[in-house]
Structure formats: C-alpha cells, structure tokens
Amino acid sequence: MIDLPASNDLVFHAVLGSENSEIILIDLINAVFENDNVPLLKKLTIQNPFHFDEYILTKRAILDVQAQDEKQRKINIEIQTSEHAFFRERILYYWSRLYGSQLNKGDDYTKLKPTTSIVFIKFPIYKNHKEILFDSFHLASKHYSEKILSNHLNIKFIQIPDSFHQKQLGTTNKNLVNWLKFLNFPNGISEEEMDNIINENSNIKKAYDRRFEFLSEEKIQAYLEAEEKRRRDERAIEMEQKNKLLKREQRGLKRALKL
C-alpha cells in the first residue's frame, strides 16, 4: 500500500475538507488560534467539501479548504509542501478572493467579516530563522506596530518540521504540536508516539482513522499508483530529452574543435 502523510495535499483535503470533517477541523483550527491568542471556534461550516470522485471526473485542481464559523468569520486552510517563486503572492491572491466573495452586487461593506488564511508549510517561514515554526501577519502601521489598520486580514504560517526539537517548538501549545506530528506521520514519528497522541486527543484519532480509511480504498490506491507511474514516465522523458540535448551539444563542440 502506498502510504502518505496527512500533509500530502490529497490526503490533507480528504481528511480535513470532506463532509462531516467539521469537528476534526475545528480542533485543528482552534489549536492554531489558541497558539495566537485568537477567540476559538464553536461551530464551523465547510463551504467547499472535497469529493474524490468529483475530482477524478472533472480533473479539477484541489482547492483550499474554505470554512465559516458561527460569527461568519471566513477561514481558508491550505497546505504547501514546496516553496515556489510566487508563493506569498498566491497566498494574498486567494485571501483576497475569499474576502471579496462576501459581497454581492448592491451589498454594503458591513457584510465583510474578518478573513483568516491558515497556511501549513513544509519549508522554513524564514530562511535565516529556521527555528521559527509559527508566525502571524496583519496590516500594521510602519511607525506603530501595535496599531492595526483592520482586523479583517490575518495570515498565519505554521511550519510542519521534519523533526521535533523542544528548542525549536518553543512555546507552541501541546495540542498544535500533536497536530503537526500527525500531519507529518509516519515521517519522523513512531507508531508508539502516534498511539500516545491519539489517546490524548479523540479528534486527532478521528483524523488518524480517516487517513487510514481513505488510503485503504482500492480506488485511491489505484489512483496513487497511476500518478506514481505518470511521474516516473515524466522523469524518464525529461532525462531522455536532457541526454539528447547533451549529446547535441557534445557533437557541436567536437565540430567546433575540428575547425
């Protein structure tokens, strides 16, 4: 069986973004909010539930998990396993789309509610400060950093480390650390440690069971195997093209040396 951590994009959305995932997602979001002293959620609605069969039929890109709480706050949850050139711009763009989607034609600005993007990443937030696993961004004054233009924009980055050291974890609350370990499992986390975590938190156990059930489905394994074959074939074609280019360059160099 192809085993993937919950930090894999597909597994992440299947576990946290499917229908009836609300209780699991609330626990994860509240672990993030508690770490940042933000009022916790009581209720949550997933506004774009993930359906694997729909994904296969339409070949649509996997979207972020979008939710709304009992205070109408908008929350966007996503995971990024690799950093690309326009990663930060992409985060801002999708935050702005979610924020702007609250207004229909004729609505006034009172309809707008605070919108938070929670971004789990598998790379350092700051390249020169790899010890920082969590940071939160607002629209703050240049001269008075404690002055916030509006509480409507908040973007939180949480790094999922490859290994967990107390010095690096710092003051990160235990529940969030346990969620990060789950998202990384089975990489760097033993079965024994995972058993201890799911015994402490019933919602992480639900997520753990849902991950196993999803990956155990025959159609999921068939899809993952096909994707693995497709990536291997793409790498083989890329290597072949590189070798052909190298051979042409070598032949050109030989002809140039004969002149």
- Residues 36-75 pLDDT 10s: 888 898 888 888 888 888 877 765 545 567 787 788 889 9
CB burial of residue 181 (10 Å; 0-12, 13-18, 19+):
buried
Mean pLDDT of the chain: 88
**pLDDT classification of 25: cutoffs 50, 70, 90:** very high
SS3 per residue for 186-211: CCCCCHHHHHHHHHHCHHHHHHHHHH
Higher pLDDT, 83 or 152: 152
pLDDT at 167 (0 to 100): 67
The alpha carbon torsion through 213, 219, 222, 226 (nearest 10 deg) reads: -110
Buried b (16+ CB within 10 A) or exposed e, 73-83: bbbbbbbbeee
* Calpha distance 201→196 (Å, rounded): 9
* Calpha distance 22→44 (Å, rounded): 6
* Calpha distance 76→35 (Å, rounded): 17
Q: Which helix (H) or strand (E) holds 115?
A: strand 115-121
* Calpha distance 138→141 (Å, rounded): 10
What's the pLDDT tens digit per position in 209-254?
A: 999 999 999 999 998 998 888 888 888 888 888 888 887 877 777 7
Residue type, 168: Q
Q: Is the peptide bond before 49 cis (omega within 30 degrees of 0)?
A: no
The tokens describing 72, both together, are: 């109408």
What's the pLDDT tens digit per position in 141-183?
A: 999 988 999 999 999 999 998 887 766 677 778 899 999 999 9
